[in-house]
Amino acid sequence: EAHDVKSRVAQKLALIEPESGNLPASIFTDPDLFYQEVRTLFLSSWQFLAHASEIPENGDFVTRVIGQQDVIVARGSDGEVRAFYNLCRHRGMRVCRVEHGNTPAFRCPYHGFTYRNTGELSGIPQEKSIFPNGRVDKGQLGLYPVRIEIYRDMIFGTLGSQVEPLEKFLGNMRWYLDLIVGRAPMEVLGPPHRWIVPSNWKIPSENFLTDAYHTLFSHRSISEIGMAPKADFAQSGYHVNAGGGHGRGIGSPADVFMFDEGLRSTFASALSADQVRVLESMKNAHGTVFPNLSFLVSLVKVDDRPISLTTIRLWEPLDVNQTRIWSWFLVEKDASADWKERSRQAYILTFGPSGIFEQDDTENWTDITQNLTGPAVEAKPVELLYQMGMGQHPLTDFAGPGDVYQGKYSEANARSFYRRWLDILTRGEGA
Ligand code: FES
Ligand code: FE
């Protein structure tokens, strides 16, 4: 059976060529390709786990996922951040069944094995009377560690032993990611919102990565009610292919400074002069870190006053047609209380689970997934169009790295994303 899947996957992948500007719809619907993604992609990339501000105190923890593996991220009693499989070494029960908290130890609910928040197995009920010679080697039975690395307070983890260091993985994307999560000390307010949508995970990932184009049409009503500027508000700016499947769009120029005026000196000390210039002229930002971490900075009007919001997104693959969305609201730690509250309101109103932009987007993603799945599609292979921006030359004078194109309407990032996706699935590289 495993061999059959392998050869079916190989045959299907051999037909895909992202640079042609056409992709088969099956990339969003084929269970074999999803199986291959779970076996390879999510084992060979860095996955975002948590923002350091979610676990500020010793003993704080959150439970997260890498691909389909449950993971605990904990700040140990020694102050160090670690991650572990949420899996008891006795029978494999989850040792932690809540989403966040503070604890010196995790006690397995099945038979009571107890693990310190640093991962070591510290206690086994009745150990002396039930194990040979009254003991087992507890030193060998700590929670399985997960390799983590931290960039700008963003904690990433990977299950792959061969995965390159995080900074190398992020590559040129670091320069652009800095504008989102490194422009000032940031904090996450509240636990992340999570909800499940019947969509393939790549549709939203690709939307944030490459698709400024939909804003004009899908979100037109928001412009019409005066919450966003008119007409081509989404087109002006830059399309950035940072390489490695990472990329973003930068809306520019700005009519107003998007951020808290009081923090200008903070931004200037956290960023390079070139980065500050891009930040100053930015009017929106969206992007994706390959494969499934996205971000967005959006400027909206609430009660007729402009305010921006920053959110990061994880598209967790539950099944080929099921995605759990994780959405964090981020704000500058040193922003004024008024700014933080208005920004949070703007987030809830626009991109929270019931936000008006979010509704527009989700309707498209779930409808596409359903519409591309089914017998008719199998009878007639469906091809989708990814040709926007083909042949366009990158700018030679943009301050940031990567291939940067004038104007945000392009699918260059999608072609680059699916190239890396295809290479990884084809090589079958994994843990
Ligand atoms: Fe955890 Fe038995 S499964 S103690
Ligand atoms: Fe949208």
Q: Whose CA is nearest to atom 2 of ligand 1?
A: 111
Nearest to 212 by CA among 389, 399, 50: 389
Q: Whose CA is nearest to atom 4 of ligand 1?
A: 111
**Region 171-427: CATH code:** 3.90.380.10
Asked if the interface predicted TM-score (ipTM) of this complex is over 0.95, the answer is yes
Quote the CA–CA distance of 192 and 368 in Å, as a whole number. 26
What is the number of the ligand closest to the CA of 106? Answer: 1
Q: What are phi and psi of 245, to 5 degrees?
A: 85, -5
Ordered alpha helix ranges (H), 154-201: 166-170, 173-181
Regarding beta strands 246-251 and 237-243, do their DSSP bridges make them parallel or antiparallel, or are they unpaired? Answer: antiparallel
Assign a CATH topology to domain 47-158: Rieske Iron-sulfur Protein (2.102.10)
Cβ < 6 A, ligand 1 pocket: 88, 90-91, 93, 108, 110-113
Regarding beta strands 383-385 and 22-24, do their DSSP bridges make them parallel or antiparallel, or are they unpaired? Answer: antiparallel
Cα-to-centroid distance, 108 and ligand 1 (Å): 6
Confidence (pLDDT) at 233: 66
86, 110, 138, best to mutate for ligand 1 pocket (most atoms within 8 Å of CB): 110
| Whole-number Cα distances in Å, 152 to 22, 148, 177 | 36, 13, 9
Cα-to-centroid distance, 215 and ligand 2 (Å): 6
Does the fold of domain 171-427 match that of domain 47-158?
no
Atom of ligand 1 nearest to the CA of 95: 1
Nearest to 54 by CA among 73, 82, 79: 73
Cα-to-centroid distance, 306 and ligand 2 (Å): 19
Q: What are the domain boundaries of the chain?
A: 47-158, 171-427
Confidence (pLDDT) at 377: 81
SS3 assignment, position 222: helix
Q: Whose CA is nearest to atom 3 of ligand 1?
A: 91
Per-residue pLDDT of the chain (431 residues; tens, 9 = 90+): 677 888 999 999 999 999 999 999 999 999 999 999 999 999 889 999 999 999 999 999 999 999 889 999 999 999 999 999 999 999 999 999 999 999 999 999 999 999 999 999 999 999 999 999 888 999 999 999 999 999 999 999 999 888 999 999 999 999 999 999 999 999 999 999 999 999 999 999 999 999 999 988 898 888 888 777 665 667 899 999 999 999 999 999 998 999 999 999 999 999 999 999 999 999 999 999 999 999 999 998 888 889 999 999 999 999 999 999 999 999 999 999 999 999 999 999 998 888 888 888 999 999 999 999 988 888 888 999 999 999 999 999 999 999 999 999 999 999 999 999 999 999 987 64
Quote the CA–CA distance of 124 and 103 in Å, as a whole number. 18
